[in-house]
Structure 1
Amino acid sequence: MIKVLITGADGQLGYELQRTVPDFIALTCTDSRELDITSSQAIDDSFRKIQPAVVINAAAYTAVDKAETDVDLARAVNATGPKLLASACKAANIPMVQVSTDFVFDGNRSTPYSENVAPNPLSVYGHTKLEGEQFVRDLLPDSSLIIRTAWVYSAHGNNFVKTMLRLMQEKDQLGIVSDQIGSPTWAHNLANCVWNGVTTLLEGKVTHPVYHYTDAGTASWYDFAVAIQKEALNLGLLNTSIPINPILTSDYPTPAVRPAYSVLDKAAAWRDLQAPQVNWRVALRAMLAELV
């Protein structure tokens, strides 16, 4: 059995990594209470106790708007944490998977972002996640894998899908942003991509330091919300339909600037990591069926 240490195990991806773990993996799962990734002493203690063969860092500060004022904590978790983990991995001579985000891009393109497009984050969250990527790549140039993803949701934890289901039961109508375009991602499919990445790392077959993965297809948040309502009605999760109105980003200002277009090019992950090629609508239906 190969020992794998997962940080952020109480999050959406951490939950799905535990559900999809391959037979040859022995998991040690930690959350922020069990392992403070901003503490080198805590990391050293955990490494001595667990002696992992691989680390998957699924921990992150993901409160995008709050990060604009909570800069120090966002940087500690998203940048310093990966740096300290990568340092420990380097000392132990083991590989690491770092999960990152589409928010490292500025959204000024109109075609999907490949891995070789230069990042240009617009928010504190995006900046700190990019810093974390760079630390990992600098410390583990030949034994790390960075997987950028977007719009993640699951049956576990808080996310857009579950928020919409709640609001659709509480409100008479909703206004949802229609001019931000991306790709929803079921954490279950992302977890399978990550495990394939772990296998690739262990086999020494990594040819790219960075991969992009989301579910296939594109949507606006408005499209996503409309689909959530339709699928939930079909499955009996909702009893009545309410009007969902498209609004502009300018109609709903937020502290953090979000990329208007952050569709990621998944071709490399599909090819090299055999990542799941599932349309986001099909994935949404599967996740909602779990809630039933």
Structure 2
Amino acid sequence: MKGRVLIVAGSDSGGGAGIQADLKAVTALGAFAATAITALTAQNTLGVHGVMAVPVPFIRQQIRVVLEDIGADAIKTGMLHDSATIEAVCEEIAARARGVPLVADPVMVAKGGHRLLAPEAVETLKRRLLPLAAVITPNLPEAEVLAGMEIPDLAAMRRAAEMLLTLGVPAVLLKGGHLPGPTVTDLLATEAGIEALEGPRIATRHTHGTGCTLASAIAAGLAQGMALRAAVLRARAYVRAAIAAAPGIGHGHGPLDHAVTVDPERLAGLG
């Protein structure tokens, strides 16, 4: 096990996204995951049925005690549901983990349509969180909100990626899965330019938690000393393998197989 990742995000009781997906992804890629939970959700593959916020002082305490003892080689943020939470998390990171690479997944809406970020918190996220990040990983609906523009095609994706770089973040992984077509194109944008990362679309409804999983997989790579591009490429390969091996659980958008890297047969007969 190599690399320590602190994950600051919400819990998914269904186990497919949020903290649960984050923990599984980081572990599957051989790093150690610690957490600071920002909210509890009552959730399954059909959607989010309830949300209960964690008090801000307790969020701060979780971050503080983890960093003071275990430390972190990378940090990943997910669901930060309101301005007070964003401000608190950014203050703790800036005070206790300056220089630690941050992968910020700007979670706004669950796959089932439930809003996970208060509308008035968008500007706080842009002003406070994005400048702390080493990379942000928005999907197209999130990028439309952050960039203030519609993104109907690949050309617009490129313009949006360029605009997002002006918000103070050095790298953007803009995920193109919401565009139609047999090929999914993500854009990795940095000051050096924009690289298109393509792959054939996997025909399945079992894609719950792909964004959380991808961002945490990138954070695991950064925590292990990988360069950003290498961490992104490995993370995308891992997510594609996990989608392809999805167990088919639930009646809606089912979870991935986060354990696709694990071979339990190796342990047979060792007990």
TM-score by length of 1: 0.41
TM-score by length of 2: 0.44
Q: Which has the greater radius of gyration?
A: 1
